[in-house]
Structure 1
Amino acid sequence: MIEARRQQLLHRIVNAWDRVFDPATGCLPSPRTAGKSRCPETLSLHYALALLETSETSRRGRAESVIARVLDRQVHAALIAPLALMGLLLIWHRHRRRLMPDLQRRIKDRLLHDGAACVPLPTPARMDEAVIIAWIQIAAAELGDDCERLESAVHQCMELRTVIFPGATPGGEEREAGGGDESGMALAGLHAMAAHIRHPGVLRLVARLRETLWEYVAGRLGAGLESAAGDSVVLAVLFERTLQVEVPEFLPEADPVGLLHALIVDPGLLIPA
């Protein structure tokens, strides 16, 4: 995918969210008026991320304002939703140096707090949710230079081996791979982990899991590109980025959050032949 095409899709997301942005609250509206069932914090933080990804200086002010509003509204909340935290993590890793120092501090504090509070999912769990929580735990431990928490987070991360297809749950029953959205968001999460974490053991595990999952989704290409992606915007765009072919004819419109993740994560590993 050439950069012009990536920017075209990125601006499609931003323009759609611009239209529903609520100046009174400084955030995006609730899922009832914003489409797919994402919590307002998830939508708003991903809106801020998308604004920053455009690299337009004029949009940075709104992005900072949206992030600050979300953090203000969540100051007494025990935990921000994991997918919202993933958006905040990507803002931190990709754009923190462009943000005001006080906002950088607030983002870091929230990531440290919520990373410590994240509870691992029971297995079997959805692949995408398990990957997101594992990344949050690892990232927070590395961010805080907390060796004890890092050791615990690494142990939990190793449990991803029982979640990513193919494999068996601890109880012994075989589990099926998830659908397109689940596989696509799990891939996006694994690529984000590979790009932003430092622990060598986790990086080796992520590389193996990423390859396994790519092999699974690539195996569905025999039925055709459209069939392989199904209704998953994430897989559709990841296929486009790795295969270097444009697939707008079946690019779903339903999930701008998923589309954003596919656009900002470098697929890196080519789909196996």
Structure 2
Amino acid sequence: MAAHQHGDRHRDRAGIARPGFIGTTDGVELFYRDWRDDGAPRNGKTIVFVASYSLPGDMWAYQMLPLTQQGFRCIAFDRRGHGRSSDPGGGYDYDTLADDLAAVIDALDLSDITLVGYSMGGAEAVRYLTRHGSARVARLALIASTLPMLAKTPDNPDGIDRAHVDAFQHDLLTDYPQWLAENARPFAGPEASEAMIGWIREMALRTSHQALFACNETVSRGDFHNELRDIDVPTLIVQGDRDVSNPLELTSQRTVRLIPDARLVVYEGAPHGVFLSDAARLTADLAAFASG
């Protein structure tokens, strides 16, 4: 794939910073997990997970553990400002976030990977491909993604009005814990236990407030209509039809029409948090897809 017009950054100072961390060219340390089951037969397949807005790589536990038991190598990292990664005070634009993903893939010298991005992470995965190319990526999975564009504009009249973004940012600046308390159940679905919802809220509350605000702006302004047409790897798209965060008709149903080699799987009755509500099904779909 030809690199997108954004261009590449120099990566001469990126690499393993210390055990469990990868350093970026601007001095950020990204915490990562690299899981393999020594007792499982190796199938030679590697899956790299990119997390949701506001959540660290821990969110993938219920996919990563069973997949490693099936012989996959599973890698997830914490976005800057999230989880155990550095809180650098900036760099929350899609170009820099895609370069952070490239730092992980390059430092671990990964190839033939299945790249899985959830929600905002799907946009980061796409920007990685259009910015750095697909030489190391064999397949792409987009789970409940924000793609191609959420914002309401003259060219996207069915998008989400700016007033909704402003309302969330007001809550973020005044009482984010209350916003989480009110929205965690619609996110996770009616079958999720209170303990599971508490786990999600706890992870979100550990995220840098600055990162939350800046990433929300990045998501609200993202427009990937042109980039999606440049994706040249097989793509699996998964989304629930009761996703209130990224409505199906605004996101995945449009994304599948833009990517040349894409397939959409809709989970009936599933909310935005399909990695929780439909964990076993998502794991099975990812295993089948990553097996090629």
TM-score, normalized by length of structure 1? Answer: 0.30
**Could you state the TM-score of these two structures normalised by the residue count of structure 2?**
0.29
Larger helix fraction of residues:
1
